[in-house]
Amino acid sequence: MKKESLHLPFEIEFATLDQYPKGSRHNSYFELIYIFSGTGIQYINQHKFNYKAGNLFLLTPQDIHSFEITTATRFFFLRFNEYYVKTKSGHEKDTIQRMEFILQNASHRPGCILKNQVDKPLIASLVASIIQENNHQQLYHKKIIEQIVNAIITIVARNIALKLPKNIKENTGEIVLDILHYIQENIFDPSKLKAAEISRHFGISLSYMGRYFKKQTGETLQQYLTSYKLRLVESRLLHSDMRIGEIAFEFNFVDESHLNRSFKKLKGVSPTEYRRQYC
């Protein structure tokens, strides 16, 4: 299996291929692959997905992948590493969280990651803008491309966050997507995450909201809140040197023991054991 490395903070590439390089590949970086045209099959982690124009795929460093091309395919590749996102964010909290969304998707299902309908034409336009800037190379074109890359990564993070509940589909109602976005924005403020407050914010009755959320996502509101916080805890364990008590405080667990019990119920091991195994 070939392992690919990245020598710059981010790289872009355009290619029209009749045949994808043979063999499975394993990257040391994140890679976004946009399909301009063509059809075929995406293989990822022993799963497969029939791709077509307009699809956008995210490959993480944990993924093993390849493509089988049926009709000549025009690809756009955007490769970037964790260092790029964190340095370009100025270490802003919300941007680091967006990176966490990408990292926590390490075991994502195959297929197009664009779940928010309005983002599909937006991504197509942004990729086309990169091509235009790259071809013309006018004054400040590198800086403009960098800004477009940042926008694409941010949109990807939004769609990954929306995809996390197992029942979210491309035709899922916009209200539940707004609720998920609200939860993600306010995950550190428990007063805004109470069911009554969310119901009030969206003008939905408390009794209806519970049924609606479960129908749309396959999880109760409390199940989603808990699993979402624990996914962020998992990212803290893997990608920071924060102590367990500090993580418990950040995510408003009663104490370290409460976090230990919740995490072990989800992962089968304590946070300390998890960090020891995977770091």
Sketch out the chain's domains with CATH numbers: 2-163 (2.60.120.280), 174-278 (1.10.10.60)
Question: pTM value?
Answer: 0.59
- Residue 116 predicted with pLDDT over 80: no
- Residue 60 predicted with pLDDT over 70: yes
Q: What is the pLDDT of residue 170?
A: 47
Q: What is the pLDDT of residue 101?
A: 53
- What is the percent of the chain where pLDDT is above 90? 42
The set of long-range contacts for 165-172, using a CB threshold of 8 Å and a minimum separation of 24, is 165/216, 165/217, 165/218, 165/219, 165/224, 166/217, 166/218, 166/219, 167/216, 167/217, 167/218, 167/219, 168/115, 168/216, 168/217, 169/115, 170/114, 170/115, 170/117, 172/115, 172/216
Q: What is the pLDDT of residue 21?
A: 85
- Residue 9 predicted with pLDDT over 90: no
Please, which pLDDT band fits residue 169 given cuts at 50, 70 and 90? low
Contact yes or no for 32/156 (Cβ under 8 A): yes
